[in-house]
Amino acid sequence: MHNQEFTSASLFRTVVDLQRSTHLIDSDSPICFTGSCFAGNVGRYFTDLRFPALVNPFGVLYNPLSVGNSLLHVIEKRSFNSDDLLFYDGLWHSMDHHGSFSRRQPQETLSLINSTIDKTAHFLKNAHFLIITFGTSYVFEFKESSKIVANCHRVPASRFTRYRLDPASIVTFYSTIFEKLKEFNPALNIILTVSPVRHLKDGAVDNQRSKAALLLAVEKLTCSYSNLFYFPSYEIVMDELRDYRFYNEDMVQPSKVAVDYITDRFIDTYLTYKAKEYLREALKKRKDIDHRFSGYNKEAYYKFLLRCVARLEEFQKRYSFSNWSEDLKLLKERINSL
């Protein structure tokens, strides 16, 4: 064995240096994730472990203006009506929402949208952290309304004008939003990220320009607000994980390994020891719940399920902020089915 001190160069990769935040997320700190699908990927880790988190309440949103408008709708508790919907291809759509809100009847779409706004407003009012992920600075403006949309819902491209936002317009827009958020929830801390998912439909060059506009806007904003921070998920993938083995088969979306790695870096940077301990224990509970019966030793599986229920009930008593009621119900249904 060589007697030498290993440096970052000898790791054969560039490591993005992260300083532990002075504003930490505790185990009972409500977190809201919003923005691109990357926000959903990281956020689901927390919701799967029953951390007090809300993920993409308006669905996946890619551009900064749509993300910001969704926050304004929540802050102002705006109620959507039929004039806000578009009927296309057999469904009623909101151009401010993901397609998961679209329904065959307009009232069904409106009911889902307005109930989600009420739920999100209540959650955000009490949240300690808001994590916003920007995906692209390109936007689609609906010609008939001159309004930037969150989702085109497969409406023909000829009905839209597409262009890229400049950093200054993003900064101006979000300066207003952050002031409103400060009034709405003075205790709220905000973490901005830029999604590492490449939008190659824009072309390799325009994708980089799009990300650059986002990064420049984020830099300006984080320098202007004391409760605003930046987490470099984009840089971690581009510099630390610069290898196609960290991508899915489409060579665009980061793989589960990459998402898990970024989530770990986020946890190390922003979570308290108590919150980390909760996640470690919760992960064990999740593995127990996801365990599947082999079909051979029914008595052993029955005893295993009883232990799972007892441990999960005790765990929920210790961490009363977490809600494992649906998981307990599932385990008890498995017991009754044996």
Q: How far is CA 204 from CA 197, 211, 260, in A?
A: 12, 11, 25
Domain boundaries along the sequence of the chain: 25-272, 291-338
User: In this predicted model, what pLDDT tens digit does every residue of 255-308 receive, in sequence order?
Assistant: 889 999 999 999 999 999 999 999 999 999 999 999 988 878 899 999 999 999
d(CA 86, CA 92): 6
What is the share, in percent, of the chain residues with pLDDT greater than 70? 96
Q: Which pLDDT score, from 0 to 100, does residue 246 have?
A: 82
Residues 6+ apart with CB under 8 A from 315: 281, 282, 285, 322, 324
pLDDT greater than 80 at residue 13: no
d(CA 110, CA 197): 31
Q: How confident is the model over 92-111, as a mean pLDDT?
A: 97
DSSP 194: E
E strand intervals along 222-337? 228-230
Q: DSSP characters for 171-187?
A: HHHHHHHHHHHHHH-TT
**SS3 assignment, position 54:** strand
CB 331 within 8 A of CB 293: no
pLDDT greater than 60 at residue 5: no
Beta bridge partners of 193: 133
For residues 238 and 149, the model is more confident at 149
d(CA 230, CA 45): 20
Beta bridge partners of 103: 92
Question: Which residue carries 């020891």 as its tokens?
Answer: 273
Predicted confidence band of residue 15 (pLDDT cuts 50, 70, 90): confident
**SS3 assignment, position 51:** coil
Torsion, CA 313, CA 124, CA 101, CA 51, rounded to 10:
-30
- CATH class of segment(s) 25-272: alpha beta
pLDDT greater than 90 at residue 28: yes
CB 59 within 8 A of CB 35: no
Predicted confidence band of residue 6 (pLDDT cuts 50, 70, 90): very low
User: In this predicted model, what pLDDT tens digit does every residue of 215-262 receive, in sequence order?
Assistant: 999 999 999 999 999 999 999 998 888 887 887 888 778 888 999 999
d(CA 136, CA 117): 24
User: In this predicted model, what pLDDT tens digit does every residue of 165-204 receive, in sequence order?
Assistant: 999 999 999 999 999 999 999 999 999 999 998 888 888 8
Q: How confident is the model over 22-39, as a mean pLDDT?
A: 93
d(CA 112, CA 103): 9
Beta bridge partners of 254: 247
E strand intervals along the chain? 31-35, 53-55, 85-88, 91-94, 129-134, 138-142, 147-149, 160-164, 189-194, 228-230
Residues 6+ apart with CB under 8 A from 24: 270, 271, 272, 275
d(CA 2, CA 123): 55
Mean pLDDT (the chain, rounded) = 93
pLDDT greater than 50 at residue 336: yes
Q: Which pLDDT score, from 0 to 100, does residue 202 have?
A: 83
Predicted confidence band of residue 2 (pLDDT cuts 50, 70, 90): very low
CB 217 within 8 A of CB 174: yes
pLDDT greater than 60 at residue 20: yes
User: In this predicted model, what pLDDT tens digit does every residue of 112-148 receive, in sequence order?
Assistant: 999 999 999 999 999 999 999 999 999 999 999 999 9
d(CA 123, CA 116): 10
pLDDT greater than 80 at residue 9: no
Please give the biggest Cα pair distance in the chain.
72
